[in-house]
Amino acid sequence: MSYLDYNATAPIRPEALAAVLEGMQSVGNASSMHQPGRQAAHRVDVARGQLADLLGCSPGEIIFTSGATEANNLALRAAFTAGNPLVTSPVEHPAVLETARAVTAESPEDLVLLPVGADGLVDLGALDQVFPARRGGVVSLMAANNETGVLTDLRVVAKAAREAGALVHTDATQIIGRLPVDVAELDVDLLSLSAHKFGGPQGVGALYVRRGSPLPHRPLLVGGGQERGWRAGTLNVAGIIGMGAAADAARHGLGEEAERIAALRDRLENLVTGALPGCRINGRRDQRLPGVTSITFPGVPADAVLAAMPDVAASEGSACASGAPTPSHVLLAMGLSREDADSTIRFSLGYATTNAEIEHAAHAVKRAATQVRAALAEAHGPR
C-alpha cells in the first residue's frame, strides 16, 4: 500500500501514539484538584506548551477543541457581528464556508467571497474593493488549500485587514507541521488546526486566539467553564498530550523534512505526467505545500482510477466531501469543467512517505488510468 492521503489524515507519529497510550492508562480529570487530576492538568500544560512552540505563541493563547471544524466555528461565530463584512473565498474548506453562510444567514450582504484565479490563488487585490468601503468585520482565508496545496500570503491579508480595523482568521489545518508557522509574523488574530493532519490523534485540535484581540466572548459550548470559558467540557487529556507530542516531533527538522517531501512530490508528478501525456497539474506550482499535488486525467473518471488501484490511498478531493454528488467546489471555482473536476485526483504526502511508495504509486496510477481509458473506449466503441 502507498498511503498518499495525508491531507485527509496523517499516520499517527510514534511519539504521539506513545503519549496517547500513556494518557489513556492514567486516570484523572484535568479539572479535579486531587493528585491524579493535578497530574492530568500538568500533562495538558506540557502539551499546550509544545503546541505553542510550534506556532510561536504563548501557551495561554491556545484553546483546545475537538478539531479544526469546531475551531473554525468558534472563531467565526465569535468574530462576526451582523452589519460588518465577513470576507472569505469560494475555495475554503466547508468548515469555514458553511459556517460563514450560517452566521450571515440573516444578513447575506455581509458575506463577501473574493475571486479566485485559475492558478488557485485568491485575488487579494480584491480586498481593496472591500476596504475601506466597509470597515471592521473579519477576514477568513486558509493558509494552504486542502485540495491543491496553494498557499495564501497571509501577511498581505493582515495588512489590509489591520488598515480597515478587521480581525484576521486563518484555517491553518494543512500547513501546521508541514511548513514553519509563526503567528506573530503572520499577524493573525485567530488560527485553527487539527492534530491528525500532522501526525497526532484524530478528534482533537485547537484555536489560537491572540491575546488582546478585540474578540467578543461567544463560546459554542457552555457548562463547566474549561479553557477560560471558551470551550466547556472535560478535556481530552489523552488526545491533547498526543497532539503535543506530535507538535514537538513535527517542529524538529521541519525545514529539511519539507525539502525531502517536496522532492518526492516532484518525483511523483514527473513519473505520472511522463507516463500519461495530457495530464494537468492544478494550482500555482511555485506557491504550494511541499507534499500536495492535484492532477487531472482528462476523460478518465477519478473514482474509476481509484477503484482500479486499491493499493494506493489517494483522494478525489476533500475527504470531508467524500460521497458528495457534486464535484470539488475548489476546482470549479478555479474554472475547471465539471468533467475535469470529476477526473482529478489529489495525492498528498507527509513525514513517513518513502521513495518506494512514490515509485509504486506512479506505476499503479499509470496502470489504472490506462486500464480505465481502454475500458471506456471499448464501451463507447462501434458495436
Cβ-based neighbours of 119, under 8 Å, separated by 6 or more: 150, 283, 284, 334
Rounded Cα distance between 198 and 211, Å, is: 25
281 three-state secondary structure? strand
Helix, strand, coil: what percent of the chain each, to 5? 45, 15, 40
Rounded Cα distance between 371 and 368, Å, is: 5
Cα maximum dimension of the chain: 79
Rounded Cα distance between 120 and 127, Å, is: 17
Rounded Cα distance between 80 and 259, Å, is: 38
CB of 90 within 8 A of CB of 333?
A: yes
Which amino acid is it at 331?
L
Cell of 308: 482500479
Q: Which residues are catalytic?
A: 320
